[in-house]
Structure 1
Amino acid sequence: METTGRRLRADAERSVRTILEAAERLLSENPGATMEQIAEAAGVARTTVHRRFASREALVETMATSAWQEISEAVDAARPHTAPPLIAMHQATANVLQIKSGWRFALGTLPPPGEEAARIYDEVMAKCDVVFTRALEAGILRPGTDLLWARQVYLALISEVVHGSPAAGPRSADDPDALAALVIDTLLYGLAPR
């Protein structure tokens, strides 16, 4: 993790991670939280936060970059280029659901703030497109499927799982595999009987 272009010492890296986690918790509850409130929630001095992050915007950009880097690694772990497309789609979905639930604020803005986060986001979308293209070629998606629309619906389903209303009923929040199966099943078959 880097915040100023150079590698941090292990203790400084832990301090930054603590600040990012506290900022995520606090900003998810109160998007108007100040740097001082974030420092207090992280259990560090205000000067420590300001030394690591020049501004609130820099903190939010670092949060987004960290979150999107985790998403990118989670998608890579699903082997989008080599695993059978349905397996890659399921595994990437389960992995992403786990990460998105911990970064609701940081991942809540599209496009993500900052050049680095936006670059990583674009890479993730390209990997998603690879899986959808492979799914189309394998006959998992019907011929002529608009892949951009399919991706948009897929991402909306993931967002609904993470951010949806609690009134929607139980979702087995502790079971990302069950949620991933629900997302993929809904994407591929909708609500019609099979």
Structure 2
Amino acid sequence: MSAPTPPRPVRADAERNVARILEAAKIVLAEDPTASLERIADEAGLARATVHRRFSSRKALLDTLFAQLDEQYRRALEQAKVDTSPPLIALHRVTELVMEIKFSHRLIVDVVNGTNSGHGFLSDEVQEGAKLLFSRLHAAGTITAACPSWCLRVYLAILDVVHQLPPGAPELGAGDDTAARTDLQVSTVLGALGGPGPQ
């Protein structure tokens, strides 16, 4: 009986290469949103053929970055317990988590979102979670806007503006930047959707 053949390390090497490519893509695309796969390969320190083997096109690479980002949004909705927490608390918590995601992946969020229109960059699962939250806010009387799709569009439009504010902007006031942006986002969204608005 022959000794078992040891497992080949190809899978682990491939996974490491994919991670290197994605990290390089975040750096390169932050500098140049139109950068080619070849430029990303150079940044990753990998042969261009290796990058092309893992990602057949620039779109395939962006789709993978999108999937990673979407998974973080999905986890944010889950952590905020949008289906069971008091809806206003859930809105505040999910906004806080989304702000953290947008700042930790600021430039790649802009690149990925920039390749899509409206809220098409969000998966159906993430959109449905967000719409559930807005439906619950309406049912609780926190907002008067009754259409969850409209509420999500308003939320995302305001989020883009709040996210783009420079640090120290008068609208943010003093204190922790993420907390200030979260408070500004929530109060503005509530005001826009027929809620109490800023207190």
Q: TM-score, normalised by structure 1?
A: 0.78
What residue ranges of structure 2 are gaps of 5+ in the alignment? 1-9
Deviation at 1:51, TM superposition (A): 1.8
Native 8 Å contact 2:189 2:197 kept in 1: no
Give yes or no for the alignment of 1:17 onto 2:19: yes
- For 1:48-74, what per-residue CA distance to the aligned partner results, in whole angstroms no more than 9, with x for missing partners? 211211122211111111211221112
Tell which deviates more after alignment, 130-139 or 60-69.
60-69
Which AA in structure 1 matches 2:66? A
Native 8 Å contact 1:24 1:106 kept in 2: no
Structure 1 residue matching 2:114: 3-state secondary structure? coil
Deviation at 1:183, TM superposition (A): 0.2
Over 3 Å counting, the alpha-carbon distance change for 1:46 and 1:100 in structure 2 is same
Which AA in structure 1 matches 2:113? L
Partner of 2:169: 169
Deviation at 1:76, TM superposition (A): 1.3
Q: Tell me, in whole angstroms, the C-alpha distance in 1 between the residues paired with 2:184 and 2:13.
A: 41
Structure 1 residue matching 2:180: 3-state secondary structure? helix
CA RMSD of superposed structures (Å): 2.9
Deviation at 1:173, TM superposition (A): 10
Partner of 2:7: none
Partner of 1:42: 44
Partner of 2:139: 137
Partner of 1:96: 98
Structure 2 residue matching 1:107: 3-state secondary structure? helix
Native 8 Å contact 2:190 2:197 kept in 1: no
Native 8 Å contact 1:173 1:179 kept in 2: no
Partner of 1:152: 153
Structure 2 residue matching 1:82: 3-state secondary structure? coil
Deviation at 1:174, TM superposition (A): 6.4
Deviation at 1:132, TM superposition (A): 0.5
Partner of 1:32: 34
Partner of 1:109: 115
Over 3 Å counting, the alpha-carbon distance change for 1:9 and 1:82 in structure 2 is farther
Native 8 Å contact 2:74 2:126 kept in 1: yes
Q: Tell me, in whole angstroms, the C-alpha distance in 2 between the residues paired with 1:149 and 1:173.
A: 31
Greater C-alpha radius of gyration: 2
What residue ranges of structure 1 are gaps of 5+ in the alignment? 1-7
Number of aligned positions between the proteins: 180
* Alignment map for 1:56-67 (pairs within 5 Å): 56-67=58-69
Over 3 Å counting, the alpha-carbon distance change for 1:99 and 1:108 in structure 2 is farther
Q: Could you tell me the percent identity over the aligned residues?
A: 39
Which AA in structure 2 matches 1:160? V
